[in-house]
Structure 1
Amino acid sequence: MRLIRGLTNLKRLSGQAASPLADGCVATIGNFDGVHLGHKTILDQVKEKASALGVPSVVMIFEPQPREFFQGKEAPPRLMPFRQKFKALLAEGIDMVLCIRFDDTFRSYSAMGFVEDVLINGLAVHHLVVGDDFRFGCDRAGDFRLLEEVGRAHDFTVENTRTVTVDNERVSSTRVRNALNVNGLEEAERLLGHPYRIHGRVVYGRQLGRQLGAPTANILLDQIPALRGVYVVRARIETGRWLDGVANIGLRPTVDGKRPSLEVHLFDFAGTLYGQHLDVVFRHGLRDEVKFDSVDALRQQITRDFEHARAWLADSSATPTN
């Protein structure tokens, strides 16, 4: 799968004689946050049509996501960071991902300017899969009907996305976030099609976990996470080995954390993980994130967290999930 970053690179690619877009493509547009069951159905629509036409399948996403651009810190928390989203789309068999920087320049695009520059001249789209409530362009002036009208004039077709429901309710990123917000890991798993996980790179931290007798692998997060608190986790390191442990995800209020992070302590592991990418699966909630009166009180709570986690893992019903 190929990643195209930005409109400049798209225009450069589309101008090449041997461009993979020379024969056009089938595309869809969206945030695809979480790549849940609803998203997977949309991706199947795109892949089926692309295969029938013999052209590449393309997913267009944005960084930052539009609501993050407009709402800043008030935007909904992300379900997954960009790298993890890209890998999830790769796993679904998409040929290309076009990632457009959502900034003041892009937001000022007129609806027709977007269609002409991006869809027609850039992607040479043959078929577009979007929801019938899709809006685009400056002041959200473009809609599904406009796409259909322009498509008839420029020889591309537009298809509405299929709706996927679980328990008679549409699957959406918002619904997954709402489930995670109340520690509904089982519901989130049903909506996603797999246990909720975060993939990220281990960086150097303040070494506080080591001082507390619980060394952690620290993963910085660019946005406030959908989950907050302490969890039993199962993590895969780059060797492919899976290890059980405990993770704190949030802002670490006891030590005045200012940037959201995921701190993972792996049971029965000795070694360094700096620079590696971990795949962290959330299995069971232990408690909310709390600000303790002292570091010593935090140390005591960490000991209890480990005891509770090991007890849960020892339960015969706690079947390992990869």
Structure 2
Amino acid sequence: MQLVRGLQNLRPTHRGCVATIGNFDGVHRGHQAILMRLRERAAELGLPSCVVIFEPQPREFFGPETAPVRVLRLRDKLELLAAAGVDRVLCLAFNRRLRELSAAEFVHTVLVDGLGVRHLEVGDDFRFGCDRAGDFAFLQQAGALQGFTVEEAATVELDGRRVSSTRVREALASADFAAAEQLLGRPFSIAGRVLHGQKLARQLGTPTANIQLKRRRVPLTGVYVVSVLLDGRRWPGVANIGVRPTVQGDGRAHLEVHLLDYRGDLYDRRLSVTFHHKLRDEQRFASLEALKTAIHADTAAARAYWQALPLDDEPGLT
């Protein structure tokens, strides 16, 4: 899959495609339905498929502190889009200049002059342009004039409700990982590289892998039973994700994972952590000794979980 960052990096060879536009946060089953139709239409027309996304996401531009927390980092989103068979991603910087484009200017600048779109797939709630003035009807009219067709994707529902990134966040916030998996079409996981940390957990008797998150806010916080994909094998574990209130930190979210019975060096390795069950909320302890006691209790609870439900029997783990 080819990643193009910004309109300035589009070349004549990029013109002529079947495209869709959106945040695609989570790449959930609703997004997957759009991507499947995108691939089908691209194959019918003999053209590459292209997904247009924004960085930051529009609501993050307008209100960084109040915008919904992301389900996925950009890197994870791109990996899932590639796995879905997308040929090209155009990542546009959402800035004041882009925000002030009218719907007509967006169509002309991005879709016509930039991509030479022949067909456009959009979600049923898609809005664009300054003040979100553009909608499906506007795109149909523009397409008729500019020579591209537009198709509105059918809503994907689960239990009578629309599948959305909001529903995924709600499921994660309530630690309903079964519901999150149904919405995503896969178990929820976070991937990252293991960095050197304060090594405090090692001093407390439970060494952990400190996984780089590269974001301030995460959709989960607390202590969880997890499994970790390492060299094609899944290891049972326990993880804390949060700001570590008992020890002096940088205020950013950290993911620390202890692999049960694992012996080896994990530094600089990229791990994928799947979340299965919440043990407790993150909390501030009065002393390191109290923290140590809690960590040992969390580890024992995770071990009991995996003894009751061995890893090979856990649904969705292969």
Give yes or no for TM over 0.5.
yes
| Pair 1:176-2:162 in alignment | no
State which of 204, 221, 233 in structure 1 corresponds to 2:226.
Answer: 233
The yes-or-no answer on 1:304 pairing with 2:302 is no
Percentage of pairs with the same residue: 54
What secondary structure sits across from 1:254 in the alignment? coil
> Is 56-65 or 269-278 further displaced after alignment?
269-278
Q: Identify the residue that residue 277 of structure 2 maps to in structure 1.
A: 284
Q: Are 1:2 and 2:9 counterparts?
A: no
The match for 1:137 among 124, 129, 136 is 129
Question: Distance in 1 between the 2:104 and 2:173 partners?
Answer: 39
1:234 is displaced (CA, Å) by: 0.8
Q: How does 1:123-202 map to 2 (within 5 A)?
A: 123-202=115-194
TM-superposed deviation, 1:133 = 3.3
Q: Which runs of 5+ in 1 are unaligned?
A: none
For 2:219, what is the secondary structure of its paired residue?
Answer: coil
Match of 1:109 among 101, 118, 122: 101
Which runs of no fewer than 5 residues in structure 2 stay unpaired? none
Q: Is the contact between residue 220 and residue 259 of structure 1 (CA under 8 Å) also seen in structure 2?
A: no
1: CA distance between counterparts of 2:266 and 2:94?
33
Tell me the number of residue pairs that the alignment of Structure 1 and Structure 2 aligns. Answer: 313
Equivalents in 1 of 2:264, 2:208: separation in Å?
11
Cα distance between partner residues in 2 of 1:217 and 1:77? 24
Taking only aligned residues, the RMSD between alpha carbons, in angstroms, comes to 1.5
* TM-fit CA distance, 1:121: 1.2
Comparing 72-81 with 128-137, which one deviates more in the overlay?
Answer: 128-137
Q: Any conservation in 1 of the 2:124–2:155 contact (CA below 8 Å)?
A: no
CA deviations over 1:257-314 (Å, ceiling 9, x no partner): 3001211111222222222221111111111111111111111100000101000100
The residue correspondences of 1:82-93 to structure 2 (distance < 5 A) are: 82-93=74-85
Could you report, residue by residue, the CA deviation over 1:109-135 in whole angstroms, capped at 9, with x for unpaired residues?
222221111111111111111134322
The one-letter amino acid of 1:156's match is F
CA 1:316–1:235: 2 relative to 1, 3 Å? closer
The answer to whether the Cα contact below 8 Å between 1:229 and 1:248 also exists between their aligned partners in 2 is yes
Kindly provide the amino acid, as one letter, of the partner of residue 163 in structure 1: T
- Cross-structure match for 2:40: 48
- Give the letter aligned to residue 187 of structure 2: P
Answer whether contact 2:34 2:123 (CA < 8 A) is retained. Answer: no
Answer yes or no: is the 8 Å Cα contact 1:78–1:223 preserved in 2: no
Q: CA deviation at 1:256?
A: 3.7
Structure 2 CA distance for aligned equivalents of residues 172 and 295 of structure 1: 41
Partner of 1:73: 65
Structure 1 contact 220–260 (Cα < 8 Å) conserved: no
Cα distance in 2 for residues equivalent to 1:275 and 1:5: 27
Assess if the C-alpha contact under 8 Å between 2:124 and 2:154 holds in 1: no
Amino acid at match of 2:276: R
Partner of 1:268: 261
CA pair 296-78 structure 1, distance change in 2 beyond 3 A: same
Distance 1:201 1:4 in 2: 24
Letter in 1 for 2:52: M
Counterpart among 276, 283, 287 of residue 294 in structure 1: 287
Q: Give the AA of the match of 1:304.
A: A
Are 1:248 and 2:240 counterparts?
yes
Shift of 1:196: 0.7
- AA paired with 1:259? R
Looking at structure 2, the residues matched to 276 and 137 of structure 1 have their Cα atoms a distance apart, in angstroms, of 42
The separation in 1 between residues aligned to 2:123 and 2:178, in whole angstroms, is: 27
Q: Write the distance in 2 (CA, Å) between the matches of 1:294 and 1:187.
A: 36
- Range with greater deviation from structure 2 (104-113 or 116-125): 104-113
Preserved CA contact (<8 Å) 1:228 1:288 = yes
Contact 1:77–1:226 at 8 Å: present in 2 too? yes
In structure 1, give the amino acid aligned to 2:75: R
- SS in structure 1 at match of 2:121: strand
State the TM-score, normalizing by the size of structure 2: 0.94
Partner of 1:315: 308
